[in-house]
Amino acid sequence: MPRLRTHIRRILTATVVATATLATPAQGRAVTPATPTTQASRIQWTACSDTEFEGLQCGTLRVPVDYAHPRAGSLTLAMVRRPADDQAHRRGTLLLNDGAGGSSIEQLRLALRIGFPAFAGAMSRDFDLVAVDPRGVGHSTPIRCTLPLKPAGVTHFPGSRAAFDTLVAHNRAFAADCLRHNGPLVAHTDLTSTARDFEAVRTGLGEKQLNWYGIHYSTLLGRTYADLYPGRLRTMVLDTALDDTTTPTERIRREAATAEEAFDRFTAWCAAATDCALHGKDAAAEYDALVARADRAPIPTADGSRTLTGEDIRTATQDYLTLSGVTWPALAQAVVKAQAGDATDFTYEPDDTLDPVQVHVPACLDSARPVATFDQLTRLRQDLDRISPHLGGAVRSWTALTGCLGWPVPAQPVRAGAPVHGAPPALIVQSTHQALAPHSAGLAMAAQLPGSVVLSREGDDYSMFLLSQCVRDATNRYLTTRSLPAPGTTCAD
> What distance in Å separates the CA atoms of residue 162 and residue 144, rounded to the nearest whole number?
29
> Is 369 within 8 Å of 193 (Cβ atoms)?
no
- With bands split at pLDDT 50, 70 and 90, how would you rate the model's confidence at 97? confident
Q: Which of 358, 393, 413 is the last residue of a domain?
A: 413
* The total number of structural domains that make up the chain: 2
Query: Given this model, what pLDDT does residue 141 score?
Result: 96
pLDDT in tens, 347-360: 976 666 778 999 99
The torsion defined by the Cα of 323, 329, 332 and 333, in degrees rounded to 10, comes to -130
Q: Which of 20-29, 167-176, 228-237 has the lowest mean pLDDT?
A: 20-29
Look at residue 10 and tell me if it is in a domain: no
Check whether residue 234 and residue 378 sit in a common domain.
no
Q: At what angle do helices 248-272 and 327-339 cross, to 10 degrees?
A: 80
Query: Given this model, what pLDDT does residue 18 score?
Result: 42
How many CB atoms are closer than 10 A to CB 88?
5
Helix, strand, or coil (residue 349): coil
Query: Given this model, what pLDDT does residue 14 score?
Result: 46
DSSP for 376-408, written as a single string? HHHHHHHHHHHH-TTTTT-SHHHHHHHHTTT-S
Look at residue 17 and tell me if it is in a domain: no
Q: Which of 378, 413, 448 is the last residue of a domain?
A: 413
Query: Given this model, what pLDDT does residue 425 score?
Result: 98
The CATH number assigned to the domain holding 208 equals 3.40.50.1820
Look at residue 456 and tell me if it is in a domain: yes
pLDDT at 8 over 60: no
Check whether residue 163 and residue 235 sit in a common domain.
no
- With bands split at pLDDT 50, 70 and 90, how would you rate the model's confidence at 37? very low
User: β-pairing, 233-239 with 427-431?
Assistant: parallel
pLDDT at 437 over 90: yes
Mean of pLDDT values over 119-125: 96
Query: Given this model, what pLDDT does residue 31 score?
Result: 41
Query: Given this model, what pLDDT does residue 354 score?
Result: 76
Look at residue 152 and tell me if it is in a domain: yes
Q: Which of 98-102, 130-134, 217-221 has the lowest mean pLDDT?
A: 98-102
> What distance in Å separates the CA atoms of residue 352 and residue 397, rounded to the nearest whole number?
19
**Mean pLDDT score of the chain, rounded to an integer?**
91
Check whether residue 220 and residue 271 sit in a common domain.
no
> What distance in Å separates the CA atoms of residue 369 and residue 404, rounded to the nearest whole number?
8
Check whether residue 401 and residue 349 sit in a common domain.
yes
Look at residue 8 and tell me if it is in a domain: no
pLDDT in tens, 280-324: 999 999 999 999 999 999 999 999 999 999 999 999 999 999 999
Check whether residue 293 and residue 432 sit in a common domain.
no
pLDDT at 431 over 60: yes
> What distance in Å separates the CA atoms of residue 401 and residue 367, rounded to the nearest whole number?
8
User: β-pairing, 127-132 with 92-97?
Assistant: parallel
Look at residue 26 and tell me if it is in a domain: no
Any idea how long the chain is?
Answer: 493
> Is 308 within 8 Å of 299 (Cβ atoms)?
yes
> Is 19 within 8 Å of 352 (Cβ atoms)?
yes
Check whether residue 405 and residue 437 sit in a common domain.
no
Mean of pLDDT values over 29-43: 48
Strand order in the sheet with 57-64: 44-47, 57-64, 74-82, 127-132, 92-97, 210-215, 233-239, 427-431, 453-457, 490-491
Name the amino acid, one letter, at 480: T
Mean of pLDDT values over 402-412: 95
pLDDT in tens, 237-247: 999 999 999 99
Query: Given this model, what pLDDT does residue 29 score?
Result: 39
> What distance in Å separates the CA atoms of residue 361 and residue 176, rounded to the nearest whole number?
12
Query: Given this model, what pLDDT does residue 27 score?
Result: 42
Look at residue 150 and tell me if it is in a domain: yes
pLDDT at 15 over 50: no
Q: Domain span at residue 459?
A: 37-143+190-244+419-491
Beta-carbon contacts of residue 29 (< 8 Å; ≥ 6 apart): 50, 106, 109
Mean of pLDDT values over 76-81: 97
Query: Given this model, what pLDDT does residue 463 score?
Result: 87
Check whether residue 441 and residue 465 sit in a common domain.
yes
- With bands split at pLDDT 50, 70 and 90, how would you rate the model's confidence at 331? very high
Residue with the bigger pLDDT between 213 and 39: it is 213
> What distance in Å separates the CA atoms of residue 167 and residue 314, rounded to the nearest whole number?
18
Specify whether the backbone of 287 is left (phi greater than 0), alpha (psi in -120 to 50) or beta. Answer: alpha
> What distance in Å separates the CA atoms of residue 428 and residue 420, rounded to the nearest whole number?
15
Check whether residue 342 and residue 206 sit in a common domain.
no
318 burial class (0-12, 13-18, 19+ CB within 10 angstroms)?
buried
The torsion defined by the Cα of 483, 6, 462 and 465, in degrees rounded to 10, comes to -20
Q: Which of 14-23, 78-87, 294-303 has the lowest mean pLDDT?
A: 14-23
Query: Given this model, what pLDDT does residue 388 score?
Result: 98
Query: Given this model, what pLDDT does residue 248 score?
Result: 94
pLDDT at 341 over 90: yes
User: β-pairing, 299-300 with 307-308?
Assistant: antiparallel
> Is 259 within 8 Å of 321 (Cβ atoms)?
yes
The torsion defined by the Cα of 320, 472, 191 and 197, in degrees rounded to 10, comes to 130
Specify whether the backbone of 278 is left (phi greater than 0), alpha (psi in -120 to 50) or beta. Answer: alpha
Check whether residue 195 and residue 294 sit in a common domain.
no
Query: Given this model, what pLDDT does residue 40 score?
Result: 46
Mean of pLDDT values over 120-139: 96
Check whether residue 391 and residue 291 sit in a common domain.
yes
Look at residue 29 and tell me if it is in a domain: no
Check whether residue 215 and residue 266 sit in a common domain.
no
pLDDT at 395 over 90: yes
> What distance in Å separates the CA atoms of residue 133 and residue 242, rounded to the nearest whole number?
20
Q: Which of 413, 437, 468 is the last residue of a domain?
A: 413
Check whether residue 202 and residue 115 sit in a common domain.
yes
- With bands split at pLDDT 50, 70 and 90, how would you rate the model's confidence at 99? low
The percent of residues above 70 in pLDDT, for the chain, comes to: 90
